[in-house]
Amino acid sequence: MPSPATKVIALDGPSGSGKSTVARGVAQALGWRYVDTGATYRAATLAVLRAEAELADPQAVSDVVERAAIEVSSDPGAAGVRLDGEDVTAQVRGPEVTAAVSAVSAVPAVRTHLVALQRRLAGDAGAVLEGRDIGTAVFPEAPVKVFLDASAEVRAARRAGDTDAGVSVASGQSAVAVVAADLARRDRLDSSRTASPLQAAQDAVHLDSSTLDAAQVVEHVLDLARRAGLVT
């Protein structure tokens, strides 16, 4: 029986690189599942915040996450996140969650628990997963691995234009400057954590989307899938 990873496209990269838009586009083109692994960490973070667990206490954080019922839609055309039966799609993109998600996701036990969930969400009929450690930890045997990046300026501008950027901008502040500072903070935390840091898999194809639109990147990934024999 073939490994489920034989029908997986792994798309990693930092915030603002365009990976969510691209992953959804590829999944829709193929008729495959789409798994936003970042949404699982955001839901876990919301659970921790609601439980008022101490972020500096790994055991307390992991205990909350393991008790939480997290559901994430795998439909690329209909995003949705539920926590303990409640629709929290909007709440997980709030500034409080954004500020705390790197701390929660750095807990090894949390990552182990959520990686298992992410693999279940992928199924075995074809899935595009996007995140920060898909090609290195979630599905290291995926036949197509892409590390998508963009310049810091482009990433900040994109995120500042998102309605779910998850940062608070005070009067007189530049939204792009605030988002750029937050992205730099998250990059630093995500790249330096011990458990599954943000990094490209050794065999990943690097794509810089700074001067490309989403449709061009989607087509590039689809071409990689065709070359790998995933689609005809």
Question: What domains does the chain contain, in order, with CATH numbers?
Answer: 4-209 (3.40.50.300)
pLDDT of residue 171: 44
Report the alpha-carbon distance of residue 58 to residue 152 in Å, rounded: 31
| pLDDT tens by residue, 46-69 | 999 999 999 999 999 999 999 999
**Global pTM?**
0.83
pLDDT of residue 217: 96
Task: Please check the confidence at residue 162 and state whether its pLDDT lies above 90.
Answer: no
